[in-house]
Structure 1
């Protein structure tokens, strides 16, 4: 039987999480974290369900599933008033907090749900701003608390970044990891660190792209085209660290030195690990070691598999051409 889910906060993130779990077969309660007049609540309820219906309809139109399933999915979602927190949380095995990124709002949301949590319930904040240790003292069971950062739209993007505290029980993290995997998400773990993995990385990429537009290096259209068909195309198959190993750590070592010298900008300086791998002869595939260990791997088969996936990307983009 699918576990019961409660999403606290009926905004974009709460609606996305309700969509995800109702689609996967769970009963979901979307709990309004604000105390509002009845007419305003009914308006919120209607808007939330309409938004979820619209997203489901679009996915059905794109061929993901039959439109006839939409009503069945929506029947699994119940929108509750703040005053109904006890009912909303009754029997919920997993609770996701998704209120605005204001510490006082987070504290108020946890104070609302904490007295009504089921025994053993795992509580996760979807915050993109606060470290897990900034929030963990707001709950009475820190061993069952961690951050779970979803990327929008939550119903579509597979990745969820899990940030447990040192005080989070392994069983709680493992339970959430298993739940997410079961519904088709891809959870990753990281220690408490500002920006998680994806936001920290994409902040650098977006700022550099904006900087090139500002400098007139290329038009915004050509910058984005280069990133889609050059970087994005390859990173859809090869992770960033895997890509370093694939091309060679030494290439990044020399490119970083060149860019730092040519621009005078310290942001292009390589981290110590790149220098260290260079000096230790850990340059990736051709050395058998880099960020990953390839010594017991069939490297030819690995290359062929990755090239096959790159060809699949070409086919998706309608750019795979037969020989002339």
Structure 2
């Protein structure tokens, strides 16, 4: 379990104060979880700042740490003189191991060169033997890589469900005849499908380029469990009081685990969300949605369980 102590010299809300944060460095299990990090909740911690004439500490509530809230802190009064100041964290009820690091902590080693090399092999006609006809174009890939990295595609190719065709591919100034397995994917755009294949090739995904809900949908379709969970966490991280209801009613209601994540978010933030135009609009129109009545009943049941409506 890794923690990082951070200092910010200026509090944006009070120029007379500074900020000290206790940041959780997520382990691989925490990084793919949409729940609060229960192991962290068992750790008692307090932040402190002291000088020869000043000593202040605050107890931290470590049960609030999650992928949406990895850093929590407190505001301390700035010292008016130039005396040495000590900031720190005290852990209670915890086995503490001290280590020094010369770089930013990460949960995986850097493999940039390898990743880029594999990424360059994607969508290259002359290096490919599979052609996907997607909604708005074509995408090339390698059967051997897809089979090795995906159980879905491994089973697909063994079952011989795809058409095999020879066709001309323009390579520079010449046309070359290459044999490809042809697979029709009419319901997925090229940019989304390429990003899914990029994950298969490199184990990385760029959520800044493609909506996380679209990645979740394609990962679910092609049984890419790890990618699906990454997208689920990314959707959860990006929820706000303004977009949660639309994400739930537009897409998330189709999958129980994603639906549960968003309903829990709505319940946890209900007091702030219920007054937003987005919530009021969907609350007035939910009966026209194929699962609207069921969704609102779940929300109400959980609100009652938490005694928010009592």
TM-score normalised to the size of structure 2?
A: 0.27
Q: Mark the structure with the bigger radius of gyration.
A: 2
TM-score normalised to the size of structure 1?
A: 0.26
If each structure's helix is expressed as a fraction of its own residues, which one has the higher value?
1
If each structure's strand is expressed as a fraction of its own residues, which one has the higher value?
2
